[in-house]
Amino acid sequence: MDIRRSCLPSGWYPRDGEAVSRFLSPFASPSNGKALAAVAPHAGWYYSGRFAARAAAALERDASTVIVAGGHLPAGMSPLFALEDQVAGPLGNIPIDTELRDALYEELKGREDRYQDNTVEVLLPMVRYFFPEARLLWIRLPAEISSFETGKTIARTARSLERKTVFLGSTDLTHYGPNYSFSPRGYGRKALEWVEKENDRVFIDAVLAGNPEETLRRAEEDRSACSAGAVLGAMGFASLCAGSKTPKAELLAYGTSAAMSADEIPDSFVGYGAFCFS
């Protein structure tokens, strides 16, 4: 049995099951989520965990396989897949849906994900908590319009294998400040308001409008999303699952890491959004 181990250092998320359960229990609901797909941020849980939990909890709970799509891949790269049999985590190992994975790996001309990256791993304890019996598909998608079609391909292939699937994409929004070499509005309140009300807002509006081309354009031109491919994949997956209807997109929550600063607005901060498609 080949098991994928954690690559993230301590601090990204709780490393024992009781702490994970305590963090996520306020987001649990006896009612089943209704979303076909969702998008969650992927920073450490201290900063963005409450947003990510809202997204994961919105998904339909009877899924037999949860697709988690990460990013941090530029255009021109092939989709990356975890090729292990299971992924280790604080609530126990999550089995990978190897049949679905292998079918998609061949169809999409995938490559093995051998890299250290946070965009999938940081969401997996949430997947295990909200979907304790489900299997996992670990994939990372490039920031190009083809990822929208890849989302459709994933939905179509899962349907052909009679899988009940949901899709959780992963991205943070604007990375602002000297830590990210991006400070077009200086610092302080003016900069924070620009990110919240303009730069992130235009990206959010493109996602809510269901426009993959504009979503990618805003991510690239405005530097308002670090993993646009995962968002496009979620949009494509939801559009195919919805059939003739246009999936309803909803912004569940929005904020920035600046909110965690007790004193003055930090020079560097990151935007976070939680979306769902139903």
64: left (phi over 0), alpha (psi -120 to 50) or beta: alpha
β-strand partners of 18: none
DSSP 3-state percent helix, strand, coil across the chain (nearest 5)? 40, 20, 40
Domain span at residue 164 reads 3-277
Judged against a pLDDT cut of 90, whether residue 97 lies above it is answered with yes
Amino acid 30: pLDDT: 60
Amino acid 33: pLDDT: 83
Contacts of 182 (CB under 8 A, 6+ apart): 174, 175, 176, 223
- Residue type at 139 in one-letter notation: I
CA distance 42 to 51: 9
What CATH number does the domain containing 237 carry? Answer: 3.40.830.10
CB 6 within 8 Å of CB 121 = yes
Contacts of 202 (CB under 8 A, 6+ apart): 218, 222, 224
CA distance 144 to 158: 22
Total-model pTM: 0.97
pLDDT per position as a tens digit, 25-62: 999 876 668 899 999 999 999 999 999 999 999 999 99
Judged against a pLDDT cut of 70, whether residue 113 lies above it is answered with yes
Percent of the chain with pLDDT over 70: 99
Number of domain units in the chain: 1
Amino acid 262: pLDDT: 79
Amino acid 241: pLDDT: 95
Angle made by CA atoms 72, 159, 75, in degrees to the nearest 5: 20
pLDDT per position as a tens digit, 183-204: 999 999 999 999 999 999 999 9
Average pLDDT, the chain: 96
CA distance 195 to 265: 13
Amino acid 244: pLDDT: 65
CB 178 within 8 Å of CB 247 = no
Amino acid 263: pLDDT: 83
Helix ranges restricted to H, the chain: 17-24, 45-57, 98-107, 124-130, 146-160, 189-194, 200-208, 212-222, 228-241
Helix ranges restricted to H, 58-145: 98-107, 124-130
pLDDT per position as a tens digit, 205-219: 999 999 999 999 999
